[in-house]
Amino acid sequence: MKALAGLVTLGFLAAGAGPAGAVQSVPVMAESCALCHGMEGRSPAAMPSLAGREAETLFKALMGFYDGSRPATVMDRIVKGYDAAELRDLAEYFAHRPPEIWP
Amino acid sequence: MTGYSRRLILGGAGACLALPTWAAAKPRQKGPTVVVIGGGFGGATAAKYLKRADPSLRVVLITGELTHITCPFSNTVIGGFASLAMLERNYDTLKSRWGIIVVTGMATAIDTAKREVKTSGGASFGYDRLIVSPGIDFKWGELEGYDEAAAQRMPHAWKAGPQTTLLRRQLEAMEDGGLVVMSVPGNPFRCPPGPYERASLIAWYLKQAKPRSKLMILDAKDSFSKQALFQEGWGALFGDRVEWVPAGANGRVVRLDAKGGWVETDFDRFFPAVTNIIPPQKAGKIAAAAGLTDSSGFCPVDPATFESRLVPGIHVIGDACIAGEMPKSASSANAQGKITAAVVAAQLQGEAAPEAKVINICYSLLSPDYGISVTGVYGVRGGIRASVAGAGGVSPLGADAHFRKAEADYAFAWYASICSDSWA
Ligand SMILES: Cc1cc2nc3c(=O)[nH]c(=O)nc-3n(C[C@H](O)[C@H](O)[C@H](O)COP(=O)(O)OP(=O)(O)OC[C@H]3O[C@@H](n4cnc5c(N)ncnc54)[C@H](O)[C@@H]3O)c2cc1C
């Protein structure tokens, strides 16, 4: 919950529509992350997997990319396309994906 | 935007998210048919994500090839550190795991009145919705002297396959000291950073195997994608081995003679040992045949749904479409395949089309250990797919070798991810 408190002070927590002006479908938005992280966040190679991890861990990482406290090669450029509420939703989405699906 | 609220889509706080995956979709007895033309990044992704959104859909994927050889990473074959076989993708998993009906053959005509696609095999396929992702074709002859026969001597290698192998063989056969020339067209073309990645990996090969050889890029433009990063890397890795000649310095190739072995700009004639011509491009032929293209040769579409602005009921994705600020890349085609699948599946269920921002990433390798990238997040703004302000951009200039190596490793990882996301 510490991250949530930090969020409010970060000031970009303007809720509602994203920068594109329309309410975004979270699952469809999350599908875009798959081109690096693998379908539903199950990575087949060296990209970090996201599926089934703690929502709070994922969200904190995303916030760290946003404020620059977490080192990044590319995520710092990507997170700026989303507001905090969307990042929260994306973290929740991936937290609820099964880490393994095909037996 | 109608009835969609964030909470609705998420299925309520705390609850295990009820999302429209195959598990959640409503099964129906016999769903409508969606035909997809083209089994590259755009088409394969669209077909798979349609079934994922609604398994009751009948999805027919019509594609010209038994296996697809990806253009991404084909420059590593030309550079000599990967084989073409590593770039082959087949349709087995799309059939077995996702239940997609895969038809091998070229779509030759679209009857929009009857809603039917005809194939080279003589069969017809009716559709309720059609998604078209045929990639590009070349404007043969627009560059004087460059036709399909000339490409056997001066390869384009801008569709991966035998052309890629031909260019690699020519480089291997060249004597040390030979001049390599690349000709790069004006915008728009498939993969804006692609020619410069190729130049880098050819230079990387020359540096080891033909140390007295040089590479000259004759360009029809005055600037290019990730230019400062490429030039920084070329300086560091290859010294003056790579020379870029912009249009303003008389870089545009205006004619060539493949048999005579020369290419000409307005003032100079060059006799390279190896010549790679990247020709001007247009949407894959079927797009024009179906009335989907405008005077640019590409297909205008609605930026939210990728539905053709010219023919209702047909969606065009990937290199063939005009996607606003999104570049023509495999990442874009994959992202557009997903959003279009979600839109089509929702509309066929009588639901409002979802909206979503999508991501593009183009990694480029300057050597096996040196990677750079450009990325963007794209939403609908001002009637086009436009970059979300403040997001995206290129890798930092002046980064250390460790950072470049990390991005090179991520480039390989991206390739593994996007291929399994598209075909598996
Ligand atoms: C050298 C090179 C390097 C590249 N590197 C990268 C990279 O690193 N990252 C990146 O994001 N992008 C890269 N690209 C760009 C990428 O290859 C394209 O943007 C991407 O392939 C576009 O996908 P698409 O679905 O539009 O077309 P394609 O992937 O070309 O697929 C089209 C498919 O449709 C088939 N087809 C065409 N017409 C018909 C028809 N009438 N009937 C049936 N089938 C048909 C074709 O045979 C083909 O299989 C590179 C391109 C090149 C040339």
pLDDT value for B18: 38
Q: How far apart are CA B316 and CA B374, in angstroms?
A: 24
Closest CA in chain A for residue B396: A73
CATH number at B150-279:
3.50.50.60
Residues of B whose CB is below 8 A from A39: 420-421
CA–CA min distance A10, chain B (Å): 16
Is the CB of B354 less than 8 angstroms away from the CB of A28? yes
pLDDT band at A22 (very low <50, low <70, confident <90, very high): low
Query: Out of A47, A89, A92, whose CB is closest to B413?
Result: A47
Q: Which of B156, B191, B316 most suits a substitution to test ligand 1, by most atoms within 8 Å of the C-beta?
A: B191
pLDDT band at A74 (very low <50, low <70, confident <90, very high): very high
Phi, psi for residue A14 in degrees, rounded to 5 = -60, 110
Query: What does each C-alpha distance from B127 to B22, B110, B308 come to in angstroms?
Result: 22, 10, 16
Give the model confidence (pLDDT) of B303-338 as tens digits.
999 999 999 999 999 999 999 999 999 999 999 999
Mean pLDDT value across residues A30-48: 96
pLDDT value for A100: 85
Closest CA in chain A for residue B341: A28
3-state secondary structure chain B: CCCCCHHHHHCCCCCCCCCCCCCCCCCCCCCCEEEEECCCHHHHHHHHHHHHHCCCCEEEEEECCCCEECCCCHHHHHHCCCCHHHHEECCHHHHHCCCCEEEECCEEEEECCCCEEEECCCCEEECCEEEECCCEEECCCCCECCCCCHHHCCCCCCCCCHHHHHHHHHHHHCCCCCEEEEEECCCCCCCCCHHHHHHHHHHHHHHHHCCCCEEEEEECCCCCCCHHHHHHHHHHHHCCCEEEECHHHCCCCCEEECCCCEEECCCCEECCCEEEECCCEEECHHHHHCCCCCCCCCEEECCCCCEECCCCCEEECHHHEECCCCCCCHHHHHHHHHHHHHHHHHHHCCCCCCCCCEEEEEEEEEECCEEEEEEEEEEEECCEEEECCCCCEECCCCCCHHHHHHHHHHHHHHHHHHHHHHHC
Q: Tell me how long chain A is.
A: 103
- Interface predicted TM-score (ipTM): 0.91
pLDDT value for B208: 97
Q: What angle do CA B78, B79, B82 make, to 5 degrees?
A: 80
Q: Does A45 touch chain B (CB under 8 A)?
A: yes
CATH superfamily, domain B7-138+283-356, is: FAD/NAD(P)-binding domain (3.50.50.60)
The percent of residues above 90 in pLDDT, for chain A, comes to 73
Q: How far apart are CA B219 and CA B253, in angstroms?
A: 7
pLDDT band at A16 (very low <50, low <70, confident <90, very high): very low
Q: Does A5 touch chain B (CB under 8 A)?
A: no
Q: Hey, of B5, B6, B51, B347, which one would you mutate to test binding to chain A, going by the most A CBs within 10 A of its CB?
A: B6
Q: Does A27 touch chain B (CB under 8 A)?
A: yes
pLDDT value for B393: 98
Q: Does A20 touch chain B (CB under 8 A)?
A: yes
Residues of A whose CB is below 8 A from B375: 74, 77-78
Q: Determine contact, residues A87/A65, Cβ cutoff 8 Å.
A: no
Q: Hey, of A29, A47, A92, which one would you mutate to test binding to chain B, going by the most B CBs within 10 A of its CB?
A: A29
pLDDT value for A102: 55
Q: How far apart are CA A64 and CA A6, in angstroms?
A: 11
Q: Tell me how long chain B is.
A: 424
pLDDT value for B31: 87
Q: Does A35 touch chain B (CB under 8 A)?
A: yes
Q: Determine contact, residues B58/B34, Cβ cutoff 8 Å.
A: yes
Q: How far apart are CA B24 and CA B22, in angstroms?
A: 6
Q: Determine contact, residues B378/B385, Cβ cutoff 8 Å.
A: yes
Chain B, residues 11-30, CB within 8 A of chain A, namely 16-17, 19-21
Q: How many angstroms does the Cα of residue B37 sit away from the middle of ligand 1? A: 12
CATH class of A21-95: mainly alpha
- Cβ < 6 A, ligand 1 pocket: B 37-43, 62-65, 68, 71-72, 74-75, 106-107, 133-135, 158, 190-191, 194, 198, 284, 286, 318-320, 328-331, 333, 362-363
Q: How far apart are CA B312 and CA B344, in angstroms?
A: 13
Give the model confidence (pLDDT) of B387-417 as tens digits.
999 999 999 999 999 999 999 999 999 999 9
Closest of B11, B120, B10, B129 to residue B60, by C-alpha: B129
Q: How many angstroms does the Cα of residue A97 sit away from the middle of ligand 1? A: 30
Q: How far apart are CA B422 and CA B87, in angstroms?
A: 13
Closest of A13, A79, A87, A24 to residue A57, by C-alpha: A87
Q: Is the pLDDT of residue A6 over 70?
A: no
Q: Is the pLDDT of residue A10 over 90?
A: no
Closest of A77, A84, A69 to residue A36, by C-alpha: A77
CB pairs under 8 A between A and B: 161
**Per-residue pLDDT for chain B (424 aa), expressed as one digit of tens each?**
333 333 333 333 333 333 334 444 444 457 899 999 999 999 999 999 999 999 999 999 999 999 999 999 999 999 999 999 999 999 999 999 999 999 999 999 999 999 999 999 999 999 999 999 999 999 999 999 999 999 999 999 999 999 999 999 999 999 999 999 999 999 999 999 999 999 999 999 999 999 999 999 999 999 999 999 999 999 999 999 999 999 999 999 999 999 999 999 999 999 999 999 999 999 999 999 999 999 999 999 999 999 999 999 999 999 999 999 999 999 999 999 999 999 999 999 999 999 999 999 999 999 999 999 999 999 999 999 999 999 999 999 999 999 999 999 999 999 999 999 999 9
Q: How many angstroms does the Cα of residue B41 sit away from the middle of ligand 1? A: 6
Q: Is the pLDDT of residue A8 over 70?
A: no
In chain B, list all ranges with CATH 3.50.50.60.
7-138+283-356, 150-279
Phi, psi for residue B32 in degrees, rounded to 5 = -65, 165
Exposure pattern of B220-259 as b/e (b: 16+ CB <10 Å)?
Answer: bbeebbbbebbebbbeebbeebbebbbbeeebbbbebbbe
